[in-house]
Structure 1
Amino acid sequence: MLNLILIPIITIILISILAFIVFVIALSNLKNKKRSKIKQKKAKTILISEMDLTYDSKKSTIKETFSFLKLKNKLKAISKDEKIERIIIDLDNFSFSFTEFEEVEEIFKTLRETKEVISIGSIFTKEMYLTALLTSKIYKLNTKNSYLMINGYNKVLPYYKKLLDKIGINVKILNVGDYKSYGENYKLESMSDNLKESIKNLSDQKLNFFIDKVKEYRGIDIRNDLVEGNLFLKDNFENLIDKSVNKYEFIEKDENLMDILDYEVKLNRKTKKFIKKTKDYIAVITLDGTISENELSFDKVYDKVSRISDDENLKGVILEINSPGGSAYESSLITTMLRKELKGLPIFVSMKDVCASGGYFIASSATKIFANKNTLTGSIGVVSMYPNFSELAKKVGVNFDGVKNGETTEYLDLTQDLSEKTENILLNEIKEIYKEFKLNVMRSRIMTDQRLEKIAGGRVFTGVEAFENGLVDRIGSLEDAVNEMKKYLKLDKVKLIQISEETDFKDDIKNKISNLVIDTKLLNTPLTLYVDML
């Protein structure tokens, strides 16, 4: 009788979830439809506004994402398009990250030589104002609700130890590396000195980068005003804002305005001839996200690599990596596969916002590594989390009972404490993974164990620091990596092709569902390489 009641209820719930997912996909599809009212030949103004910008390029029966590389290619084309007179960045709906700023900075310098480049916003945070610095003029809205919101940093994390103790959840953290801080907020009552040191160092460098860029572009040193809070909720400030405007009058009434998403790159005859005649190419493969079976997995990376690995026209590969790490098992599988499938080919790495821990494990085997100044990288260490809910079960009146045969059988049972023997085995396994990680780096970066240990142990660095200590080869963008590879290959004429992730409707539904589910394998496996986004 109970089954007869539950089955239709469960069916209705599942259908509702599926319908919701389809609705979300359809809604995002509508967003990607043509936004501009005019044809490109009549366009004089390009608007950079709301978009789902990703590093990776994904193609499916449902939608096609707008990759960062595609955006850069459009901006380069616009810089050569004589019909386009003006570019507007709508800061209320779009801004670049610090690392993205570095990647497009030179492109915008070229744009400003022949175009009027303007940014408009109502609120200016550090990231928004940094984006505004790319433009010739910075306008705020003509209202009292438009202001600067630029201040220092305040990095605070919640620590759950007392709460978990009260409700009966114990989290055991096994790690190698004093600076490997992932999960410490479940084990400690307050932030460790090592984590405070890391956050302060990285945040100071980021803040200094911002202050230096403001001085470079606007000719004003804002350090004292920023620290003293004088740029917080400030509706105007000399030399930082050029004027106040009516956004509706400025954007909505522009009859010659076209959204950059609708702008199509027109190839001239010379370029078309080059593409047709030139067979050799460099492939860009993007690795974006947490390394796990559900997100940035071996299968997804292999799918991209296998489509090109046997192509005789492939001359080199550039890995764009934007990952804080994840499963060491998946990281190791990906690294081994890349070495095997791309054997004999140069592999360069272009680091994005973060390329740390498992991400750096993959990157470290590359022929050459490029990082931006604000890239977070390093975090060479291993950490594992083991939650135990046995005390919570007792408090709510649940008793787990049964039989077992042999030792270490409590592993992955979240209702039992790890025995001393199991814990020692796991700790030894983690140490072995750490040794493998370091050995991989030592071989690739030509370092002694003594030298590497000084910069390992979970320490996180900016791109600048990583260049200084030998973890990366050069500070530079994807374009710098491409130009360097051309020199390495001694090829002047070579195409650049981004290998897209190809999915179908079923994959999109599966991905939407997996995004709603916590990947518990990152919580109960000893094979975890991870760094928090600081």
Structure 2
Amino acid sequence: MKGFLKTFFASLLAILFAAGGLFVFILVLIGVLSSMSQPVPQVADGSVLVFNMSTAVQDRPVGMTRDAFIDEAIGGSRQAKVSLRTLTRGIRAAGEDDRIEGLLLTGSFSTEGGASGFAALKEVREAIEAFKESGKPVVAYAVYPSSRDMYVIAAADTVYMNPDGLVSDAGMSMSYPYLGGFMEKYGLGVQVTRAGEYKAAAENFVLEGMSDPSREANLAVLEDFWAEYLQVVAAGADIEPSLYEEKLNEFGMLAASDAESIGLVDGLLYTDELIAKMQEVSSKDAATKSFVQTSLSDYLLDAVKPEYSSDGFVAVVYAEGSIVNGEGKEGQIGGDKLAREIRKIRQDDKVKALVLRVNSPGGSALASEVIQREIRLAKEKMPVVVSMGTMAASGGYWISAYADKIYAQPNTLTGSIGVIGVFFNYEELAAEHGVNFDTVKTTEHADFMGMFRAKTDREMDLVQRQVDFVYDAFLEKVSEGRGLELDAVKALAEGRIWSGVDALDLGLVDELGGLGEAIAYAGQEAGLGDSPAIKELPAASNFLDELLSDVSQQAADASTNIALKPLVDLYREASEMTSRFNDPKGVYTVLPYTITIE
């Protein structure tokens, strides 16, 4: 019912907004009045800070989107989101806050929209370890912990688990959809050319499984990630990594009793027993009969404030999503849009350094170059530092290569220095349904970019020429930007992906570390110290911006039958998969898909 109300209000909102905007005004007024009626969050003295990890941790700032605003207006709940930097600042601040007696970790991280990657969670875990340095206890309570949850709660002093719980961690895997059979079955043509033996970005459209080079590179990265993960979890439990791996191979997933027997958790408790334990840390709350506590969301509102300085600030720019030509949309990096943001920064005298936070599988070669050009111009005026998140590969590496210093995490996926050309056509599908195309043209290749026919062998040779040209340029840029010999870059390129650990050894990154380390270094280089004032860009989105840019889509959604929602969702997922392929030349520096490590 709540989902129906959300769809209904969103559709009605779009229609009435187009008709005159009266409903928007009313809804805004309701929202404002509602927020004014809410009590200001209070941080109770002597309380336990409760971090419900059932949230999506994303790199960029979090704003109030249209859907979230509608949920608030109709009294619904929404998937919580929090920015990485806000979260880590809050946890670290709580360690020095006399009102906070301890930290309780509960819930399970959300990966919605590619959030909560291991590289980001490494910084969350490090913030918890910094909290522990205050001497305050950190307790974790797990029910069905995923591998992401285990990775973070390994930092806790004490880990309890529900007796009926299950460790939902069976190891790490990379699983990709391969559409070669589907494309052939339904007459959807795709033609691919590439530069780089390991450049597998279009394999999923033409093959029915991994190529040998792709399997080799994927397994090597996965083994690096798994080794780091095992070390972290085992160290937290004070057990041997081999023991945990052995038990996973034996049982698949560990029951609560299995986890306790090997020391992965310290005890099995029901919720009421956990409450009694936490009352020993703070005290009993007479009103709720629970323990005195403050939610992390309330604490962030109270303790994490905007940063200002008359000395200037470090601009932190978030490049998160696939890199596409033009402006892009939510969840994408529009080449023109991000370049314009960086241009404003380098022209602002108050900005003393730039940190580019990259979390991207790449995309359009042209858009990547547009962004890189602005990065190089900014570098002429100020220090430029790159912080690689969960993924900074292909085009994500292209835009990073000229930074003064590049930071990555051990579980960052990077590299993939290679180029592909990919073209779709529906010639066979159209013919099967009696649709034929006839063309007149002035030159031999005038209809070259159309999707109604396959490219000729000669045309594919021309595409290969462009791909080779872009690949050579990519190699030269990495060589120049990183100060590496061209032959050395050629040897490590070929489209192969690397873990952050291997990238450090190869000279693709300079140091292992997260966003915090990158900001501290940029601040020092700019003469602002290691805790500089920060300005985060692009600014968090808000629901009015979303309304103004998305009215037409909402009107279309209003006519969509709710019963067809699964098909609509599938269509949107497929559209997102192909929307990154919008380079005007059909040439891309992109991973095949957003890789998710499970």
User: What TM-score, normalized to structure 1?
Assistant: 0.86
Task: Please state if 1:438 is matched with 2:462.
Answer: no
Q: Distance in 2 between matches of 1:243 and 1:37?
A: 37
Give me the identity figure in percent. 23
Q: 1:343 to 1:196 in 2, by over 3 A?
A: same
Matched residue SS, 1:373: coil
Q: Distance in 2 between matches of 1:173 and 1:17?
A: 43
Task: Please state if 1:258 is matched with 2:294.
Answer: yes
The amino acid that maps onto 1:448 is E
Question: 2:181: which partner in 1?
Answer: 162
Query: Match for 2:212 among 183, 193, 201?
Result: 193
Question: 1:281: which partner in 2?
Answer: 313
Task: Please state if 1:240 is matched with 2:240.
Answer: no
On the 8 A contact 2:41/2:299 being kept in 1, the answer is no
Query: Match for 2:421 among 375, 384, 391?
Result: 384
Question: 2:143: which partner in 1?
Answer: 122
Task: Give the C-alpha shift of residue 440 in structure 1.
Answer: 0.9
Matched residue SS, 1:385: strand
Task: Give the C-alpha shift of residue 88 in structure 1.
Answer: 1.6
Task: Give the C-alpha shift of residue 58 in structure 1.
Answer: 4.9
Question: 2:86: which partner in 1?
Answer: 70
Q: Distance in 1 between matches of 2:16 and 2:255?
A: 42
Task: Give the C-alpha shift of residue 264 in structure 1.
Answer: 4.1
Q: How does 1:307-346 map to 2 (within 5 A)?
A: 307-341=344-378, 343-346=380-383
Q: Distance in 1 between matches of 2:474 and 2:222?
A: 27
Q: Distance in 2 between matches of 1:122 and 1:465?
A: 35
Q: 1:243 to 1:79 in 2, by over 3 A?
A: same
Question: 1:9: which partner in 2?
Answer: none
Q: Distance in 2 between matches of 1:382 and 1:358?
A: 9
Larger mean Cα displacement after TM superposition, 514-523 or 154-163 = 514-523
Question: 2:120: which partner in 1?
Answer: 100
Q: How does 1:17-28 map to 2 (within 5 A)?
A: 18=14
Task: Please state if 1:482 is matched with 2:533.
Answer: no
Question: 2:74: which partner in 1?
Answer: none
Q: Distance in 2 between matches of 1:338 and 1:201?
A: 31
Q: 1:127 to 1:52 in 2, by over 3 A?
A: closer
Task: Give the C-alpha shift of residue 362 in structure 1.
Answer: 0.5
Task: Give the C-alpha shift of residue 480 in structure 1.
Answer: 2.0
Task: Give the C-alpha shift of residue 490 in structure 1.
Answer: 4.7
On the 8 A contact 2:60/2:320 being kept in 1, the answer is yes
Q: Distance in 2 between matches of 1:37 and 1:253?
A: 22
Matched residue SS, 2:492: coil
On the 8 A contact 2:42/2:302 being kept in 1, the answer is no
Query: Match for 2:587 among 512, 527, 532?
Result: 527
Task: Give the C-alpha shift of residue 75 in structure 1.
Answer: 0.9
Query: Match for 2:546 among 499, 505, 508?
Result: 508
Q: Distance in 2 between matches of 1:47 and 1:122?
A: 16
Q: 1:157 to 1:171 in 2, by over 3 A?
A: same
On the 8 A contact 2:173/2:222 being kept in 1, the answer is no
Question: 1:82: which partner in 2?
Answer: 98
Question: 1:411: which partner in 2?
Answer: 448
Q: CA RMSD in A?
A: 3.5
Task: Give the C-alpha shift of residue 100 in structure 1.
Answer: 2.1
Q: Distance in 2 between matches of 1:126 and 1:317?
A: 33
Query: Match for 2:238 among 219, 223, 230?
Result: 219
Question: 1:149: which partner in 2?
Answer: 168
Question: 1:3: which partner in 2?
Answer: none
Task: Give the C-alpha shift of residue 354 in structure 1.
Answer: 0.5
The amino acid that maps onto 2:211 is S
How many correspondences in the alignment? 513
On the 8 A contact 2:386/2:400 being kept in 1, the answer is yes
On the 8 A contact 2:163/2:256 being kept in 1, the answer is no
The amino acid that maps onto 1:72 is T
Task: Please state if 1:454 is matched with 2:491.
Answer: yes
Matched residue SS, 1:123: coil
On the 8 A contact 2:124/2:152 being kept in 1, the answer is no
Q: Distance in 1 between matches of 2:172 and 2:202?
A: 22
Question: 2:228: which partner in 1?
Answer: 209
Task: Give the C-alpha shift of residue 373 in structure 1.
Answer: 0.6
The amino acid that maps onto 2:126 is E
Q: 1:504 to 1:102 in 2, by over 3 A?
A: closer
Q: Distance in 2 between matches of 1:264 and 1:227?
A: 37
Q: 1:245 to 1:19 in 2, by over 3 A?
A: farther
Q: Deviations over 1:405-442 (max 9, x none)?
A: 32112323212111233222221111111111111111
User: What TM-score, normalized to structure 2?
Assistant: 0.77
On the 8 A contact 1:214/1:221 being kept in 2, the answer is no
The amino acid that maps onto 1:328 is A
Matched residue SS, 1:118: strand
The amino acid that maps onto 1:522 is R
Q: 1:330 to 1:235 in 2, by over 3 A?
A: same
Larger mean Cα displacement after TM superposition, 107-116 or 78-87 = 107-116
Larger mean Cα displacement after TM superposition, 173-182 or 32-41 = 32-41
Q: Deviations over 1:326-353 (max 9, x none)?
A: 1111111111122224532110111110
The amino acid that maps onto 2:546 is D
